Amino acid sequence: AQTVTQSQPEMSVQEAETVTLSCTYDTSESDYYLFWYKQPPSRQMILVIRQEAYKQQNATENRFSVNFQKAAKSFSLKISDSQLGDAAMYFCAYRGNYGGSQGNLIFGKGTKLSVKP
Amino acid sequence: DVKVTQSSRYLVKRTGEKVFLECVQDMDHENMFWYRQDPGLGLRLIYFSYDVKMKEKGDIPEGYSVSREKKERFSLILESASTNQTSMYLCASSDGGTSGNTIYFGEGSWLTVV
Mean pLDDT, residues A99-108: 68
Q: Please give chain B's pLDDT, 114 residues, in tens.
A: 668 999 889 999 999 999 999 999 998 998 899 999 998 888 999 999 988 988 999 889 999 999 999 999 999 999 999 999 999 999 999 887 666 678 899 999 999 999
Contact A92, A3 (CB under 8 A): no
Residue of A nearest to B2 (CA): A46
Which residues of chain B have a CB within 8 Å of the CB of A100? 30-31, 50, 96-97
Across chain A, which distance is largest between two alpha carbons, in Å?
A: 45
